[in-house]
Amino acid sequence: MSKLKLYYDVVSPYSWFGVELLMRYKSRWPSVQFELVPFSLGGVMQLSENQPPATNPKKGAQMLKEINFLKGMYDVDIGYPKDFPQLTLHAQRILTALRLQKSDKLEAASKAFWKLYWRDEKSITSKEDLFAYLAPIVGKEHATKLVEVDSQTPQVKQELIRVTKEAVEVHGAFGAPWIVCEREGKEAMAFFGSDKVEAIAYYFGVKYEGPCPPGYKQSKL
């Protein structure tokens, strides 16, 4: 089976776009196995010696314009937080814990954290806010354990470091989202950014129907 591994960080608005767009195709591309992998974008920047676009005034202004445009094109209810960027390490560790637990709530929890920060302008560093957005998805008891205990274990911390290094050192990552695709008989390909879904479809030899394919709203429920 073909494989798609999507590395992301909730500090990145383009990661949100990437996850939204690609997961709309999960049921449409049954020959492709999807895997969501939370990593540390800050760690990627350090390891790849790259600089976040927001640190450059012109790039930051362009990013804001793009987000305001793409939110309509992609049908994603995103804003632009006044306090940007914030440290997402705790959030990414929570998501890493869910991934290690093989939870089917990883996608929903990731989207909830994007909504927390990028739509509702809450604090992604606040335990209270993280719990408030996580509890409706996994339940209050599990949310408390994820926020207070599971995300702080050495295993989770090391796994987040490991996948971040893997993304950079094995797959050449320098930003997010970073999407690694494998198909039998073809050389593996890595794609950067949320605007590569059509290219990814071409790589896998599957049908692409735009960023908002027919029936995608139902698939989100």
12 catalytic? Reply is yes
* 52 upstream amide cis, omega within 30 of 0: no
Stated length of the chain = 221
| Token pair belonging to 35 | 């895997």
Helical spans, DSSP H, in the chain: 13-23, 41-48, 57-74, 89-100, 106-114, 127-138, 140-148, 154-165, 197-204, 216-219
Name the residue type at position 14. Y
**What angle, 0 to 180 degrees and rounded to 10, lies between the N-to-C axes of helices 140-148 and 89-100?**
120
Q: Give the active site residue among 2, 12, 40, 194.
A: 12
Q: Which residues are tagged catalytic?
A: 12
